[in-house]
Structures are given as C-alpha cells and as structure tokens.
Chain A
Amino acid sequence: AQSVAQPEDQVNVAEGNPLTVKCTYSVSGNPYLFWYVQYPNRGLQFLLKYITGDNLVKGSYGFEAEFNKSQTSFHLKKPSALVSDSALYFCAVRVIISGNTPLVFGKGTRLSVIA
C-alpha cells in the first residue's frame, strides 16, 4: 500500500525567509509525487509534480521540490516566503498500477507566513 507522511501539522515562517514543508512517502514501485495547495473553502490547486528525470522540480508561484529516492522524501521549498503563501499544503503520491489508481494524500501542513 502507498502512503504519504507530512510530519508537521503547522509551519511558521517570517516573510522573506526560506520555507520548507516536509513530505516522505512509502510505495512499492516508482512513485509519481505531487504537491497541492488549498486555500480556505476552496479545492486543491496543483503546484508541481515529479515523474522522472531531474530530481529538482520547479513549479508554480516560485515553489520547488526535490525528489530524494534514498530518503524517500519530496520536500517542498521556496527561497523567500510571502504572506500570500499562507495556506494548507498537501503532498500526494501515485503508483501506476492501473488507470484508476488515485492520488493518496498526506494529512496536510498548514503554512503560516508572518509579515
């Protein structure tokens, strides 16, 4: 079975400082990894994904994530946080078993960027 762990419920960072939101995964097979962001009472917005190739993936709004196979991690990062980045962030994984295999989500990490 595949699973995703986001060890931090909450991350606080000052505006302008770098931010990291952690994610580790457990799968049998090659993972497809995703990060989504959710604003209050809204659906999920896609940030970035790792499929194959370069371990450093760049996504929307200046976010990036690094796939680390040995540590089974896919941490989300941004060099300089903005107050508008405050939201709920979800890491998700998918292993292609069939066309119907869904994304499995971590529990989410609430990011709070303080001005």
Chain B
Amino acid sequence: GAVVSQHPSWVICKSGTSVKIECRSLDFQATTMFWYRQFPKQSLMLMATSNEGSKATYEQGVEKDKFLINHASLTLSTLTVTSAHPEDSSFYICSARPPSGGAREQFFGPGTRLTVL
C-alpha cells in the first residue's frame, strides 16, 4: 500500500526558532498533500492543502506567514513553523493523495510531535 513518511518524528525547540517538518510519499506521486494539526485528545484540524508547484491554500484562522508550506515536488511537502512559540506545540500530521482513483483516499504520515519550550 501507499506509504507516507514524516521527518522528524519528534522535535523539541526553543521559543523563537523555526522548525521544518518533511512529508514524503514513498511509493506514489502525490499531486495534493494536506497538513493537519492535532491537539491532545482532539480531532485532526486541517491547516492547509498544498498542490505541487503552486501556493498552498490555508484554512481560515491558520497564519500562512507562520506556517510555511512548500510542495516543491510530487513526493515532498514541507511545513515550516516560523518563530515557534509554546502554543504551537502540537502533533502535526501530513496526508498525501495519489492522483488516480475515484475516491482517492488519503494516506497519512506517522505524525511529528513538536514541543516548543
């Protein structure tokens, strides 16, 4: 089946620094990738949708200047949390969708736990 990887799996950083999270589709080309954020014991909240070679579409309330998304190739999307603060601590999950298939289900990465001190 389709595999999506994320790196790193966890990261601890100081307040004010920037953190980059990578999402890769390992065995398929993903024209569309999604970034979700999950708070403890809560659901996944969609942050943004990215398409290869174009700007990401952010959900209402998500600061695009703070959460920079780059989808430079069909197998890689990156999320950079700029000037991170403790309230950005969360579990970030990416998801990728292959271009073929009617339902085009989404495949999820294992997640990245970010802790900002």
**A residues within 8 Å of B by Cβ?**
32, 34, 36, 41-46, 49, 51, 90, 94, 99-100, 102-108, 110
B93 touches A44 (CB 8 A): yes
B32 touches A99 (CB 8 A): yes
Q: Which of A42, A45, A51, A105 contacts B43 (CB 8 A)?
A: A105
Q: Which of A34, A99, A110 contacts B105 (CB 8 A)?
A: A34
A100 touches B32 (CB 8 A): yes
A102 touches B51 (CB 8 A): no
A51 touches B111 (CB 8 A): no
Residues of B within 8 A of A51 (CB): 102-103
The complex places the Cα of A49 from the Cα of B31 at a distance, in Å, of 21
Residues of A within 8 A of B46 (CB): 102, 104
A43 touches B108 (CB 8 A): yes
Once A44-B93, A90-B44, A108-B43 are accepted as A-B contacts, the answer to whether A102 and B34 lie under 8 Å apart by CB is: yes
Tell me the nearest residue of chain A to B2, going by C-beta.
A46
Counting from the closest, the 9 A-B pairs by CB-CB distance are: A44-B108, A43-B110, A43-B108, A107-B43, A43-B111, A105-B44, A51-B103, A105-B43, A102-B34
Which residues of chain B (83-103) have a CB below 8 Å from chain A?
91, 93, 95, 99, 102-103
Tell me the nearest residue of chain B to A34, going by C-beta.
B105
The complex places the Cα of A45 from the Cα of B41 at a distance, in Å, of 17
Tell me the nearest residue of chain B to A45, going by C-beta.
B108
Residues of B within 8 A of A103 (CB): 34, 95, 106
CB distance from B19 to the nearest CB of A (A): 18
B108 touches A36 (CB 8 A): yes
Residues of A within 8 A of B111 (CB): 41-43
Residues of B within 8 A of A43 (CB): 4, 6, 93, 108-111
Residues of B within 8 A of A45 (CB): 108
A32 touches B103 (CB 8 A): yes
B57 interface residue (CB < 8 Å to A): yes
Q: Which of A94, A99, A100, A107 contacts B42 (CB 8 A)?
A: A107
B113 interface residue (CB < 8 Å to A): yes
The complex places the Cα of A49 from the Cα of B105 at a distance, in Å, of 9
